[in-house]
Chain A
Amino acid sequence: MIPGGRARRALLWLAVHATAVAVGLMFLAPLAFMLLTAVMTDRQALSGDLWPRGWHFANFTEVFSGDMVRWTVNSTLYAGLSTLFMLVSSVPVAYALARFRFRGRNLALVAVISAMMLPPQVTMVPLYIVWARFELTGTLWPLIIPQLFGDAFSIFLLRQFLVTIPREYADAARVDGCGELRTMLRVVLPMARPALAAVALFQFFYCWNDYFRPLVYADPDHWTLAIGVATFRAAHHVEWNLTMAATLLTILPVLVVFFLAQRVFIQGVTLTGVKG
């Protein structure tokens, strides 16, 4: 060791940890200020004050006096049904891509990746025209029904996970006389529970956060939270306190789910990026 190495290391330790604390605080600051503003009176929220004079938690209930309840119901329906449909349709596809050997399998995988990378705006015009023919524009069905036909991102993610499960398990089941469907449902899927949870969460959050597609299709009766919150400020002119309270309420379910399933979630994110 070079002389003074200990002092230098201590200094480095201090620098690293000071930076870490500073970065952490900067990342938390927006959320903290949102929370502090959400409990202010509307007058104080406009004053530029940082700390609330009195904690008006009633703001959170006042938010619900408007259309917020309906938006929440719509968002939940959209995200819930989409997730359910996605699982039913995408799991067998991912299973086949990971397990079966057939001609054109690599081509199929390339098609999945291409669809995954395709911006939704590209195909929107013809699809809108089709849904308009069926007189389903104005509702959320044009966003939910397609999930019955598989979701590229989920298929890709599930497939990446399923190829890591040793084939021996499935082979053993087959020797015991299991059909392929039974093998998938009874043997492989229980082992893939973390991956299933991850894609379900991703799908749910994607729909919960989706703004573009409901904006194109939904009429005000079918607005979701995302559209509602974006509109909130215009309807409630300068009431930043209520706007922040509404904003925090849209974050809350996501945070609760995340902290319950943190490991699964992080694993999923890692799986998307690292495999390459």
Chain B
Amino acid sequence: MASGSLRLPLPGTRGGTAAARARRRRRLRTLAFLSPWLAGFGLFFVYPLAATVYFSFTRYNLFTLEYVGLDNYTYLLHDRDAWTAMRNTLWLVAVLVPLRVLFGLGVAQLLTRIKRGAGVLRSILYLPYLVPPVSATVAFVFLLNPGTGPFQTVAARLGIPLPDFFNDAAWAKPGLTLLGLWAVGDVMIIMLAALLNVPASLYEAAAIDGAGACARFRHITLPTVSPVLAFSAVTGVIETLQYFTQPMVAGKVASGRADLPGVQYSPGYPDGSTLTFPQWLYDQGFRQFNMGYACVLALVMFATAMAFTVFLLRRFRAFAGEEAQ
């Protein structure tokens, strides 16, 4: 092997030892299998990222392009809508992500406690996650609508006043949170799988040692599921950074405006309370055609998402092929 590696075969030559030929064939084969991804990574990841950086220094509206240096970046500092969008996104990261993880864990824990009907209940809890987000959002705006919404009717009969969720700036994000909790099925399934992986013998041993339910949860369940908890939290953050469909649709439906020709809808209804960062990027890039400025917003998103991805990769080094020898 060592002597063979000194004779570097020229591309296209058919020479070399049999081992070298086999190695070259293997390399070509690997390249062939990977080629769709290699092309795709260049075309849809590397190129657009580089272009985003380039366009971020320009004023570009698809027709005229002008180099403006750092203008877009300084504009970001004064763009109050961008700050509103960032605050709203952070609010959702701080509230929606932990609630979804904890609620998912709680529901999964509940599922491990029941025997009969667990399958049915699991399907019922998973079902809402499958509902297309647009449909779920339209439905929730209606269901929580004051005057006409069934949930308001039920609550009123029980004597509990409900807020005007999607028309009240103080309650729009909590309304979206309810929607996010309803669609907790993905987290629940992952948590359930992790909980079922905890060996029953551990619990039995702990019970014999006299550990109560709380102690068993703290010392056996939590440590075993904590990698899955962290995974759900980080992927939850990355998903929330992209939170677009639900706030956009909720705002449109609640305000009664849509993308019909001639109708303008500015995201964030009511009062910017549901304006998230991706919506502001969409508005700037694809409705106002401030492409350069949209690229600055995109780079902010990229930096944040990558920071969390790096954390995720560090936390789960197991991702990078420990199985293949």
Contacts and interface: CB of A to CB of B under 8 A. Distances in A.
Interface centre among B30, B62, B190, B320 (most CB of A within 10 A): B30
B227 A50 contact: no
A193 interface: no
B162 to A, nearest CB: 12
A233 B44 contact: no
A36 to B, nearest CB: 7
A121 B298 contact: yes
Interface in B134-157: 134-140, 142-143, 147-154
Nearest to B126: A266
A211 B245 contact: yes
B258 A231 contact: yes
A5 to B, nearest CB: 12
Interface string B29-48: 11011101101110111011
B281 interface: yes
Nearest to B27: A102
A251 B129 CA distance: 11
A18 B48 CA distance: 53
B182 A118 contact: no
A106 B30 CA distance: 14
Interface centre among A37, A45, A230, A234 (most CB of B within 10 A): A230
Contacts of B132: 208-209, 225-226, 229, 250-251, 254
A135 to B, nearest CB: 12
Interface in B73-107: 107
Nearest to B260: A234
Contact of B30 (A100, A208, A235): A100
Contacts of B36: 89-90, 92-93, 148-150
7 contacts: A47-B148, A121-B281, A122-B301, A163-B321, A216-B286, A226-B132, A240-B142
Interface of A: 16-17, 19-20, 23-24, 27-31, 33-34, 36-37, 45-50, 89-90, 92-93, 95-102, 105-106, 108-115, 117-129, 132, 146, 148-150, 155, 163-164, 180, 205, 208-209, 211-212, 215-216, 220, 225-227, 229-235, 237, 240, 243-244, 247-248, 250-251, 254-255, 258, 262, 266, 269-270, 272-276
Which 7 A-B residue pairs are closest in the complex by CB-CB distance? Answer: A149-B40, A273-B190, A126-B51, A123-B48, A234-B258, A96-B33, A89-B36
